[in-house]
Structure 1
Amino acid sequence: MTKLSVNINKIATLRNARGGDRPNVVQVAKDCERFGAQGITVHPRPDERHIRYRDVYDLKEIVTTEFNIEGNPTPDFIKLVKDVKPEQVTLVPDAPDAITSNAGWDTIRHKDFLTQTILELKEHGTRVSIFVDPKEEMVEGAALVETDRIELYTEAYAKGYHANREQAIAPYIKAAHKAQALGLGINAGHDLDLDNLKYLKNNLPGLAEVSIGHALICDALYFGLENTIQLYLRQLK
């Protein structure tokens, strides 16, 4: 079964909009796990507009499933990951002012930087995944920098799903087969929801984990958090 990691950034966004500590991100993480999530994902950004660095330290104390920290590997981010030692770190090449992640790594152009960064993080016992577009050459580059996994950036799949889902998923299937041949684990994330998740799961070989935040939290407003997590888990069976 493909694991579901719940990204709780949007919970922190709601908290920060009013100040104080409601909703409490630590309690929500506990609840997500209690409701069946197999991981918790956070993506702290330099301006701390949603998840704060302090949240990451607090969450490390209570997360009992897989803790996944996403982010651009700046010096501050690298220090955070070394301190917290999560089960997984996902490296994302987003600009400081990016609203959300919008591209994968050019694993060829940034080979030296990624190789050095990944080695440094692995030395601290953390599994490393890197965000990549569904292009076979980028997957090949990912293998060369010795990452453990790739996370396929699924925005293009989600955008094309309703018009032609076979066409939308085709490059992802090719990328996944390439990753498997090269011994890379496969994660996926971005704009996945209750409409498009099951088809991705059923057609993408070797999919180990999906990270879902925005759509899941939006659905929880209508269905409730516990029921929503169960709905997503059913799509992954």
Structure 2
Amino acid sequence: MNLLINVDHVATLRNARAESFPDPVHAAARCEHAGADGIVFHLREDRRHITERDVRLLRETVTGKLDFELSTAPDVVAICCDVAPDLATLVPERREEITTEGGLDVPANAERLEAVVPQLYDAGVAQVSLFVDPVPAHIRAARAAGANAVELHTGDYANARTADARAAELERLAAAAAVAHDEGLRVHAGHGLDYRNIAAFCDAVPHVHEVSIGFAIMARAILVGLDTAVRDMAARLRTA
């Protein structure tokens, strides 16, 4: 299972003081050197963390897989098409949210998604993924919209407070991954995965090619250093 690391929180720290550091581009290079298989970033409509400058430098410098997370806002879609990352992951976005709060309601947004997905392919993006809750109808709708991958939202699993609740969420995720696999979609996963819950996730959920993890790794890096934080997570995935 591959590890893609989200560097948004490095940009959040930089922007909190309107400084030029820490630089998410430099952090991305350190992550790859320490064993990450790729880098994730989310260019939000309000540019609250990652900026267009970051996007273009990440495209030039990342040597592994580059995952551009974006809404369907026309200006952001245009930038993604111009940059042509390896993977574009379409996500819901609300200005007032702290972080992405759930998966796309694919059926409700089918018309817009059916317009955007071909644009991304035409620009040279090889993989187009929709970030979805583990709901079979939304996964099938993602396929109908033209996506060739889905990223399963793991936030409900990560936030579950009891063993029974965690087990139930793992069952939902496993069933959703099986549906996605049967639909011919590549399966990714992310949101809230950390050093404590990743092993159980890997044991329970089949067909997952890669996970996207950001906050847990950056939070740990404050205490142990970025290289160690990345290597620790990569080691957990190698032994899963």
**Structure-2-length-normalised TM-score:** 0.95
The Cα of 1:112 is off from its aligned counterpart by 1.9
Q: Is the 8 A contact 1:32 1:226 kept in 2?
A: yes
The Cα of 1:114 is off from its aligned counterpart by 1.0
In structure 2, C-alpha distance between the alignment counterparts of 1:96 and 1:225, rounded to whole Å? 29
In structure 2, C-alpha distance between the alignment counterparts of 1:99 and 1:49, rounded to whole Å? 10
Q: 1:135 to 1:64 in 2, by over 3 A?
A: same
3-state SS of 1:36 partner: coil
Question: What is residue 137 of structure 1 aligned with on the other side?
Answer: 137
Question: What is residue 57 of structure 1 aligned with on the other side?
Answer: 56
In structure 2, C-alpha distance between the alignment counterparts of 1:136 and 1:168, rounded to whole Å? 14
Question: What is residue 216 of structure 1 aligned with on the other side?
Answer: 217
The Cα of 1:20 is off from its aligned counterpart by 2.5
- What does 1:194-233 correspond to in 2, within 5 Å? 194-233=195-234
3-state SS of 2:184 partner: coil
The Cα of 1:162 is off from its aligned counterpart by 4.7
Question: What is residue 174 of structure 1 aligned with on the other side?
Answer: 175
Which amino acid counterpart does residue 148 of structure 2 have in structure 1? D
In structure 1, C-alpha distance between the alignment counterparts of 2:208 and 2:161, rounded to whole Å? 18
Q: Is the 8 A contact 2:38 2:66 kept in 1?
A: yes
- What does 1:130-169 correspond to in 2, within 5 Å? 130-160=130-160, 162-164=162-164, 165-169=166-170
Q: Is the 8 A contact 1:8 1:42 kept in 2?
A: yes
In structure 1, C-alpha distance between the alignment counterparts of 2:117 and 2:96, rounded to whole Å? 24
In structure 2, C-alpha distance between the alignment counterparts of 1:134 and 1:14, rounded to whole Å? 31
Question: What is residue 27 of structure 2 aligned with on the other side?
Answer: 28
Q: Is the 8 A contact 1:9 1:51 kept in 2?
A: yes
In structure 1, C-alpha distance between the alignment counterparts of 2:217 and 2:158, rounded to whole Å? 14
For these two proteins, the number of residue pairs brought into alignment is: 236
3-state SS of 1:187 partner: strand
Unpaired stretches in structure 1, ≥5 consecutive residues: none
The Cα of 1:161 is off from its aligned counterpart by 6.3
In structure 2, C-alpha distance between the alignment counterparts of 1:73 and 1:199, rounded to whole Å? 33
- Alignment partner of 1:124 is 2:123: yes
3-state SS of 1:236 partner: helix
**Alignment deviations for residues 109-154 of structure 1 (CA, whole Å, 9 cap, x no partner):** 2222111111111111211000100111111111111201001111
RMSD: 1.2
In structure 2, C-alpha distance between the alignment counterparts of 1:97 and 1:62, rounded to whole Å? 31
In structure 2, C-alpha distance between the alignment counterparts of 1:206 and 1:35, rounded to whole Å? 25
In structure 2, C-alpha distance between the alignment counterparts of 1:193 and 1:162, rounded to whole Å? 16
Q: Is the 8 A contact 2:132 2:139 kept in 1?
A: yes
3-state SS of 1:199 partner: helix
**Structure-1-length-normalised TM-score:** 0.96
Question: Which is further off, 182-191 or 101-110?
Answer: 101-110
**Alignment deviations for residues 87-128 of structure 1 (CA, whole Å, 9 cap, x no partner):** 001000111332111121122222221111111111112110
Question: Which is further off, 20-29 or 55-64?
Answer: 20-29
Question: What is residue 237 of structure 2 aligned with on the other side?
Answer: 236
3-state SS of 1:98 partner: coil
The Cα of 1:202 is off from its aligned counterpart by 1.9
Q: Is the 8 A contact 2:104 2:131 kept in 1?
A: yes
In structure 1, C-alpha distance between the alignment counterparts of 2:161 and 2:119, rounded to whole Å? 38
In structure 2, C-alpha distance between the alignment counterparts of 1:109 and 1:184, rounded to whole Å? 20
Runs of 4+ in 1 over 6 A off after TM superposition: none
Unpaired stretches in structure 2, ≥5 consecutive residues: none
Q: Is the 8 A contact 1:94 1:103 kept in 2?
A: no
In structure 1, C-alpha distance between the alignment counterparts of 2:57 and 2:162, rounded to whole Å? 40
Q: Percent sequence identity over matched residues?
A: 36
